[in-house]
Chains A and B, each alone.
Chain A
Amino acid sequence: MWARAVWLGLRASAGGRRGFPSKAAHQGSRRVTAELIEHLERLALVDFGSQEAVARLEKAIAFADRLRAVDTDGVEPMESVLEDRCLYLRSDNVVEGNCAEELLQNSHRVVEEYFVAPPVCLFGEIYERN
């Protein structure tokens, strides 16, 4: 079963695949490199912590790779599953807001009526510490 998945994964199909260019590792290899893990950790603010987590990621990719078994040659990709729904247009009236107190209750720290966040430069550093 997994062997078949690997074989399908190696058939990197270009036909029918459109949308955003992706950097993910489905160039046929299911090995996820340390570089990619670092990149993902920074982008998605997740912590892969252990080798087990990386293995889980690889399995998830393999699972999704089974989509390649579907022949999509000549089939127009959908925009989204909502593409034939009607997009509702709202009138330009003010009907919300004025609930600062309620919203601020969600925040760990507030200063006067501002949310408090760590200083911006730390965002990058948080990931170096891990």
Chain B
Amino acid sequence: MATPMLRWCCPGRRWIFAGIGGGSRHGRGVPTGSTSSGKKGQSSVAQQPLITAQKPRKGEREWAAVVGLEIHAQIASNSKLFSGSQVDFAAPPNSLVSFFDASLPGTLPVLNRRCVEAAVMTGLALDCHINRKSLFDRKHYFYADLPAGYQITQQRLPIAVNGSLAYSVCVGKRWSQMVTRTVGVKQIQLEQDSGKSLHDNLRSQTLIDLNRAGVGLLEVVLEPDMSCGEEAAAAVRELQLILQALGTSQANMAEGQLRVDANISVHHPGEPLGVRTEVKNLNSARFLAKAIDYEIQRQISELENGGKILNETRSFDYKLGCTVPMRDKEGKQDYRFMPEPNLPPLLLYDSGSLPTGADPQQVIDIDQLRERLPELPRVTREKLVRQYGMLPEHSFALLNEVGLLEFFQNVIKETRAEPKKVTSWVLNTFLGFLKQQNLAVSESPVTPSALAELLDLLDRKAISSSAAKQVTDVKKGNPRAINKLIGLVRRATLGRADPTVIKEVLERQLSS
């Protein structure tokens, strides 16, 4: 399924605050430093870039929104975080469950090395400080899909802290007006996923599948440095690409491998931060920005009407397109955190501190992992811009679609045409065609070789560009176009080429 192009661009929909005339967002410059606005709920003055309206009505003041995110990414590993049962998305219910996952008495957690490596690699990619010692804790709450009655997490001392994530958003109406923003990464922690509950309201029961219980999660906490849905969506998108490039998570939101919770509050610039709400169940890339913007709007409307914001948990209702309160108001949840008594501290090493004679299986060397880090999306894009002279937004587009970059690079390898031509063809004609047919790159009937061949013909001026575009017509199943092509090739070869031979060659190329 093809992903929408450049989803994180804002194509013209602008912020409209209740009571304030709809205005466009003025250029906020390019702040590249992390602008941490301090802890939520405490009276600190935010230093957020402003969302200004063009003409605030008399007596009305501007609003600024503060958005923080908690992102849970399922670790791409064969087995679970603390047990040896398999990690798989689709399997018969309760078939991937070990005795530990089912919380049978007498079972103990045993930490999966791959999960620790995944956490360290992600921390390194996000410029975090890796804690040489981190601790595991129990977070207690009762829910049917949490058989132990607690989740093993890292509350006191997580594995990585204080990093940053750079992402790009469009300002203004043109895609080429992209700026880089940075959001602080507060921490990354390892924790267990819970099982799945299916609510059967008809028979008044809940069905529990523990296949997912115990799967390793990376919780990435982003500081409240973002100020709207678009920024949040862009940050999540970039994190997704990073996790996929690292191989630490497939980060597919549709399959529940990447889940986002947002903490949202609004305030008047210069005043203390407002009360925040937590919006959970943001599991769709498409609705992430929408849901956050809705909540911001809701809070502003509420406050402007003299109401108050409750510190509550809300859920996004996809059908209604709004946030709704989630839990009954029973006061703040008390998780009764305690150290996990069955797990000693997790110690990590670097080349300088590696204990001599240690079993390599039992030690993790941060420096070694750093050396083996795959190329990050940001670096890949920079290389594309340098090597092929393409615009930054093109490099984003190439990385935004699964398999597209590889396709592009294969075409480049096989064609003599100029890189700029290749870029243009791949991003416009080819990608446009895929979108229209709702195909993924892997499902494309046009191979890189075929496109390369076509671009060569174009380059040699053997065919015109309109003729080349007709090739896609043929691919769509319009055989008459092939005859037109034959005519053109014939003309190009000054009538010397045999039409039947031309037809054969073209058909061979086009059917590959």
Report which A residues bind B (CB closer than 8 A): 19-20, 23, 39, 42-45, 79-100, 103-104, 106, 109, 111-120, 123-124
Contact = CB atoms under 8 A, between A and B. Distances in A.
Contact of A120 (B104, B115, B197, B336): B197
Nearest to A107: B208
A114 B94 contact: yes
Interface string B202-227: 00111111100000000000000000
B246 to A, nearest CB: 16
Given A89-B111, A94-B84, A123-B142, A112 B330 contact: no
A116 B142 contact: no
Interface of B: 77-79, 83-86, 92-100, 102, 104, 110-116, 135, 140, 142-144, 156, 197-201, 204-210, 328, 330, 334, 336-347, 361-362, 364
A102 B111 CA distance: 24
Contact of B77 (A86, A87, A92, A119): A92
A10 B433 CA distance: 77
Contacts of A81: 341
A45 B135 CA distance: 27
The 5 closest A-B pairs by CB, nearest first: A92-B114, A97-B85, A117-B144, A96-B98, A114-B207
A86 B344 contact: yes
A26 B510 CA distance: 80
Tell me what chain A mostly uses at the interface: helix, strand, loop, or mixed. Answer: loop
Contacts of B92: 100, 113
A48 to B, nearest CB: 17
Nearest to A122: B204
B137 to A, nearest CB: 8
Contacts of A82: 341-344
6 contacts: A88-B111, A90-B79, A92-B112, A116-B207, A116-B208, A119-B204
A111 B200 CA distance: 11
B102 A94 contact: no
Name which of B84, B100, B200, B337 has the most chain A CB atoms within 10 A of its CB.
B84
A87 B144 CA distance: 30
A78 to B, nearest CB: 9
Given A98-B95, A113-B92, A116-B206, A92 B83 contact: no
